[in-house]
Structure 1
């Protein structure tokens, strides 16, 4: 047993999947939870994902050894402030947000400085589906979880969160928060912006009622992540706006170059770009552990 009493604030896909994974692994004795959405609280109760579903964050975290803040990233500090008065002194608190510099900054401002018991984390797993009804016990298996220790980090708290994610089947790695945000702006945040923009553009074209019914597998593959939670991705892009904006400018420049190749019939250059991109992706696939 790793954690006697776990509290999950935010009963969505990630929070629910972590609860399922830890219960399946026998790593937790009791799980309490809270979500501001009554329907998610009802789902958590009905599906027996959570032992005790509470009506307030304070009730959920009382006596908890570990609190997981599984909320949209811009609401992390709000959830923390709601919980803190009811937490016991030796509590460990962690989050699952997709940006880390913004979370650490918000927590530092709310607490006066970064508290040793707060561990910033980001599981690199998920689907385009949201809500605890879609949670899976094996969601994190063989996926990475990034932890970004800070200058005041308590190593015991860090070790506890590491063990919890390992029990869920994840591979835990540590990284600087700013480096984390730069990497995931490129590999996750920008792709979501592009997918949302692409689908929205097509939906506003004349004849869009004929476009979507005739779309094939390529469209489904490219646009899948546009089915993700708009609230969550709004928060992520807003929290990491500088890094995403810089890459978006670069992507716009790349698209303008492609447009120029097409306009000027530079087809060999276009083919070479496609070949470079294909080779880069094949190298990436070969590196996946």
Structure 2
């Protein structure tokens, strides 16, 4: 049971956590830089009280979830440092973990033992508190990236929190997390943004979009995600993402060569291999949800 739960960043992730945490928390305090967003959060019953200043929001809290874009976390740490309390448990929901760990080290000298870096693998192309969904984390994975000197009781409490929200909790090293997520999330978002931008800049875009079918809609769905958030993610996880983009460029050049040379056999083999990989992914996903 959390007596006072403070969420910093009352958007999709923070708002969804607040909705599902009802009954597990005595009081829910929302911190957000946008007063109008806090008003909406209170009106929707997502939080009990709102605060613009994080220093005021965390006062008396025994559990703090930082759910802001990763680019804001270091300045936020600097504001929280004077009011950081050893008896409180802190965690985050950032999409990159190496950058968060590095930010904590720069601000505190080392990562506080009561801060447990985390990342819920859940989301939607919608953003804002209006998109909050109490079932968002149901059956989803949450990756925690504790350090060797992380406090065991803080780690246990963070795991208990996400389990209560319906998530499956796993642990991973921060560096490995960033490599995996660069491939499975960050690269696909960059590709979707790039394709949507490329076609959107064509003179005949109205005609192109008019005849776009489900494939275009499915592939570019995630290009409706928050650009600010994805700017921060790309900057924070630059090196793994650049390596994957280089691999993707090489793969595209290979396929372009097969098409240019009318190499039907190898092109068919390429598509068949891709289809098999996709089927393995679907099978694995179904088994994990079983």
Report what 2:255 is aligned to: 258
Asked if structure 2 preserves the Cα contact closer than 8 Å seen for 1:237 and 1:244, the reply is: yes
- Give the whole-Å Cα distance in 2 for the aligned partners of 1:87 and 1:109: 15
Structure 2 counterpart of 1:90, from 57, 71, 87: 87
Report what 1:189 is aligned to: 186
Report what 1:207 is aligned to: 204
Distance 1:33 1:87, change over 3 A: farther
CA drift at 1:283: 0.7
Report what 1:243 is aligned to: 240
- Give the whole-Å Cα distance in 2 for the aligned partners of 1:249 and 1:89: 44
- Give the whole-Å Cα distance in 2 for the aligned partners of 1:207 and 1:78: 44
- Give the whole-Å Cα distance in 2 for the aligned partners of 1:118 and 1:63: 16
CA drift at 1:59: 1.3
**Runs in 1 of length 4+ with deviation above 4 angstroms?**
none
Point out the more displaced range, 119-128 or 46-55: 46-55
Asked if structure 2 preserves the Cα contact closer than 8 Å seen for 1:64 and 1:87, the reply is: no
Report what 2:19 is aligned to: 20
SS in 1 for 2:79: helix
CA drift at 1:188: 0.2
Cα RMSD (Å): 0.9
Which 5+ residue runs of structure 2 have no aligned equivalent? none
- Give the whole-Å Cα distance in 2 for the aligned partners of 1:267 and 1:149: 49
CA drift at 1:96: 0.3
Structure 1 position 268 matched with structure 2 position 276: no
Matches within 5 A, 1:1-289: 2-23=1-22, 26-288=23-285, 289=288
CA drift at 1:87: 4.0
Asked if structure 2 preserves the Cα contact closer than 8 Å seen for 1:64 and 1:88, the reply is: no
Asked if structure 2 preserves the Cα contact closer than 8 Å seen for 1:63 and 1:88, the reply is: no
SS in 1 for 2:80: helix
Which 5+ residue runs of structure 1 have no aligned equivalent? none
- Give the whole-Å Cα distance in 1 for the aligned partners of 2:242 and 2:18: 35
CA drift at 1:232: 0.4
- Give the whole-Å Cα distance in 2 for the aligned partners of 1:89 and 1:287: 41
- Give the whole-Å Cα distance in 2 for the aligned partners of 1:81 and 1:92: 17
SS in 1 for 2:234: helix
Q: Give per-residue Cα distances to partners, 1:221-277, cap 9 Å, x unaligned.
A: 000000000000000011000000000000000000111001100011111111111
Asked if structure 2 preserves the Cα contact closer than 8 Å seen for 1:9 and 1:79, the reply is: no
- Give the whole-Å Cα distance in 2 for the aligned partners of 1:218 and 1:122: 29
Asked if structure 1 preserves the Cα contact closer than 8 Å seen for 2:137 and 2:167, the reply is: yes
- Give the whole-Å Cα distance in 2 for the aligned partners of 1:136 and 1:111: 34
- Give the whole-Å Cα distance in 2 for the aligned partners of 1:89 and 1:4: 16
- Give the whole-Å Cα distance in 1 for the aligned partners of 2:132 and 2:244: 32
